[in-house]
Structure 1
Amino acid sequence: MDHLKNQEPFASSSQIAHFAHFVEVTLIVELSAEFEEIPLWAIELTASEDGALGIPNIKLIGNIHGNEAVGREIILNFMEYLRTEYDTNTTIQWLLNNTRLHFLPTMNPDGFAVSHEGMCIGEHGRRNGKQGDVEDLNRNFPDFYHDNKIPRQPEAKAVMKWMDEIPFILSAGLHGGAVVANYPFDTVRVQTSQPINPPSLTPDDDVFKHLATVYSQNHLRMHTGVVCDEGKKFEGGITNGAAWYPFSGGMQDFNYAKHGCMELTLEISCCKFPRANLLPSLWKENKMALMYYVMEAHRGVTGQVVDSITGLPIPKANLQIIGRNITFHTSKNGEFWRLLLPGKYIIQVEAPGYYTLTQEFSVRNFSVGQLPSLTKLEISLLNSTISTTIMPETLPPLTTTEEINEAETTIFVLETKTVSKLDYLFRKLERNAESTHSDNKGIKTDIFSCFVSMVLIEVILFAVL
């Protein structure tokens, strides 16, 4: 892996052009790290149509710890695998036609630069900085339970900005030093002195366990419970983060708590920086696990939130799945995504200036060998300036025959009620006139009654019109 240190971060312009021969690739320089000014490059890989709605975004990040270098190479191999197999593999065609995959092969080039091949254990190069000794980037994010006072590093800021701009639904951080799929939370509300750490569970524990199991079961060894250097044995090759060892400021917790994006920490090799001759076997172990993992982005719900009158998208709306109290948000196009297992759910949608809406929906199951598909919703919010009791003067613009018929029915009902009131007044006045006549009050009284009747009728008609 040392040969990469003398090249541009991940790919030359000629390599990118060759890659783009099959599918669209976007190369984005997110920032220059403040220590060595090494750029972080994120690459988007997709064959989906420009502007197509409902396409889920996935990201894979490697090398957040500079001395854990396997993830960097596995991500590069995965990109190349998708490119070379696109024309002949129908599953990969479906994946790239219906998904946007984003890759950040190295998040900590500073730490990687001071690490070296064959360094299986230890902390040298783990952190960022010129000597790899400044901050642990996987302790540098806002925490769900605690105020993280560690100075925010430029690499963490870049990833946070990236997540603000792109609504990721699924993510993974690739690490080394163990072989296990680790799921949130890593953080705990209160530290305990128990000899065995209790798990810190999210409201979506069922989804996280499912995702971790998908990766572990499709990894060639992880599901067997690999033990590294007298380390812990993980049942089924999965673990809750806090149950392994708790800490604050982790990237996977931030993804979920801030954005509703499901992220796992994938520990994929016992040796943090193995010899290059071991890379082919490590790639083979992880290839199908990565494939099945990214396909999980199509299990759940997607949709668009729009204004019920204008039909325009509503960005930054707040959404929750009832019973799963983690808020996620609509994109600039009003789109949203949420991973869920098969079942019935209720979604709640709120946006400033609109009435809150709840809507039921179902996520269906898929048989083995069947490609998954997101449940699609269209959610229309009513502007809160519009009265829910519609009067003629506040009726919205009419655009469809159904709306016109509904409005005409409303006006007809109002007119019927008004006519009934007028008829009642006429009859009452007639009875008064007859009574006056029978009492011999004279024709002047009758004329006066008629005059009063005419005045009352004009007042009522003026009020109606």
Structure 2
Amino acid sequence: MSSLFLLLFLTPASMLEFRYHTNQEMEQYLLQVNASNPDITHLYSIGQSVLGRELWVLALSVRPRSHTVSIPEFKYVANMHGNEVVGRELMLQLVDDLVRGYRNNESWSTQLLNSSRIHILPTMNPDGFDVADTHCQFSQGRWNHNSVDLNRNFPDAFIGLRKQQQLNEDKREAEVRAVMDWLKTESFVLSANLHGGALVANYPYDNSNGGSELMGGASVTPDNDVFVHLAKVYSHNHASMHQGNVCQDSRPFLDGITNGYQWYPLPGGMQDYNYIWAQCLELTLEVSCCKFPPADQLPVLWTDNRKSLLAFMKQVHLGVKGRVFDGSGVPVQNAVVEVKGRRNLCPFRTDRHGEYYRLLLPGNYSFTVTYPGHEVLTATLNVPYGPDQFSAMKHDFLLQRIATTTDKTPMNATPTCNHTLQQVGGATVGPTWSGSAVGLSLVAMLRTLMD
């Protein structure tokens, strides 16, 4: 067989069908896409599963190999539960769609790849997928090879310190450690993880300890308005999710969205971890009523979700972005960038490039920037809607040194998380050190099987 014929045979056009691809087929597809499009793709592994399968991520951008200042990082993660399989096929179709759109010079694709860097992890749980069967709801394969639910294995800000110490990093599953390490390498701004078994866009918090975050049965983040907007962007661009009552075995969801805790409490979830510790706003997207629907439904499922997937990626351009410079004009890491009225458990801070990203809806916001040895800087910004222009508002902060100070804080000191949450009744608890996880009701425990 000639090399030319082999190349034609292996092109995405002939490889990617609407069917369920094995882990090996998925890997070969990603390798081929990467080899055929080196100018806009970069394939890398964030680690291995328990059984040693690579956790492949494909980055797509006009500069795919590394971060570019002012270009936000976005990610999709699928197949966290091995038996929830629609997401991994949607991700392969999305890769194909983005590459083809860019090659055909279609504006929606070129604008996305010019303005953002998109990371796609089609399967976080390849071991579970390999043993999954096709039951609509209760099939095997949900857990990883060690029979652990990966979406209950992340550190949880609402669980007491003693329990967190018991579940130290050595007891984190390999797949979870890989994602946690991944979040340290990139400053992700927006993310979604794709699940199955319902049709709803789920937003943080997933857990609570009965503190001031608990409002009307929901566990509300300081960025609740942004999260509700993000969830509605997905649900209202979906063919039917916004109706809220499509799945027979699921409760109705107004507008096709739900606060995670209000649906059912979930300790150790990935989306809360992303938001609290990695300052990445993440949703959990339930994209199919059945976890493992027949393969002949995949074309319709792709059509139903395609517009939502693309619209959600554009939301990485909400709000404000920029850099923080010290008194010498050098960009600084770990400068705290806070927005009045949004007291995050872990303050948002600049990355190693001195960059910050704050997803905000249009409006006026008061910013406060703090950094050791420098005057506290405040500014009021009028924030427009950025997604339509594929760029958030850009604003840099220039700090001034304190002329005379007794501040002994090292210049490279890392800001700590806020250590108090006002609990209902007046008691204060810390997000990772006191209090206990809210017990799951019988109904909630049954719902955890549904995800």
Instruction: Tell me by how many angstroms 1:52 deviates.
Output: 3.8
Match of 2:152 in 1: 139
* 1:10–1:105 Cα contact (<8 Å) kept: no
Match of 2:441 in 1: none
Instruction: Tell me by how many angstroms 1:186 deviates.
Output: 0.7
Match of 1:37 in 2: 52
* Aligned partner of residue 300 in structure 2, secondary structure: helix
Please tell me the residue identity of whatever aligns with 1:115: A
Among 358, 366, 372, the alignment partner of 1:352 is 372
How many residues matched? 374
- The runs of at least 4 aligned residues of structure 1 exceeding 4 Å deviation read 48-51
* Aligned partner of residue 9 in structure 1, secondary structure: helix
Match of 1:410 in 2: none
* 1:48–1:99 Cα contact (<8 Å) kept: no
Match of 1:127 in 2: 143
Instruction: Tell me by how many angstroms 1:8 deviates.
Output: 5.7
Task: Give deviations 1:97-151, integer Å, cap 9, x for gaps.
Answer: 01000111110111111103x321115211111xxx5211111111121144543
Larger deviation, residues 199-208 vs 224-233: 224-233
Sequence identity of aligned pairs in percent? 42
* 1:302–1:376 Cα contact (<8 Å) kept: yes
Match of 1:110 in 2: 127
Alignment of 1:12-27 (within 5 A): 13-20=31-38, 23-27=39-43
Structure 1 or 2: larger helix share?
1
Q: Distance in 1 between matches of 2:184 and 2:369?
A: 19
Among 278, 281, 305, the alignment partner of 2:324 is 305
* 2:112–2:390 Cα contact (<8 Å) kept: no
Match of 1:333 in 2: 353
Change (3 A) 1:12 1:204: closer
Instruction: Tell me by how many angstroms 1:76 deviates.
Output: 1.0
Q: TM-score, normalised by structure 1?
A: 0.76
Gaps of 5+ in 2: 1-18, 406-451
Q: Indicate the structure whose relative CO is greater, using CA pairs within 8 Å and at least 6 residues apart.
A: 2
Q: TM-score, normalised by structure 2?
A: 0.78
Q: Distance in 1 between matches of 2:72 and 2:276?
A: 19
Match of 1:85 in 2: 101
Among 329, 333, 336, the alignment partner of 1:318 is 336
Match of 2:172 in 1: 152
Among 224, 232, 237, the alignment partner of 1:218 is 237
Alignment of 1:159-238 (within 5 A): 159-190=179-210, 198-238=217-257
Instruction: Tell me by how many angstroms 1:41 deviates.
Output: 0.9
Change (3 A) 1:162 1:5: closer
Of structures 1 and 2, the larger Rg is shown by 1
Q: Distance in 2 between matches of 1:274 and 1:12?
A: 23
Match of 1:251 in 2: 270
Instruction: Tell me by how many angstroms 1:201 deviates.
Output: 0.7
Task: Give deviations 1:238-266, integer Å, cap 9, x for gaps.
Answer: 11111111111111111111122111000
Does 2:381 align with 1:381?
A: no
* Aligned partner of residue 60 in structure 2, secondary structure: strand
Change (3 A) 1:2 1:70: closer
Task: Let me know the Cα RMSD of the aligned residues.
Answer: 2.3
Q: Distance in 2 between matches of 1:167 and 1:141?
A: 18
* 1:181–1:239 Cα contact (<8 Å) kept: yes
Match of 1:46 in 2: 61
Please tell me the residue identity of whatever aligns with 1:47: V
* Aligned partner of residue 328 in structure 1, secondary structure: coil
Does 2:114 align with 1:97?
A: yes
Please tell me the residue identity of whatever aligns with 1:284: T
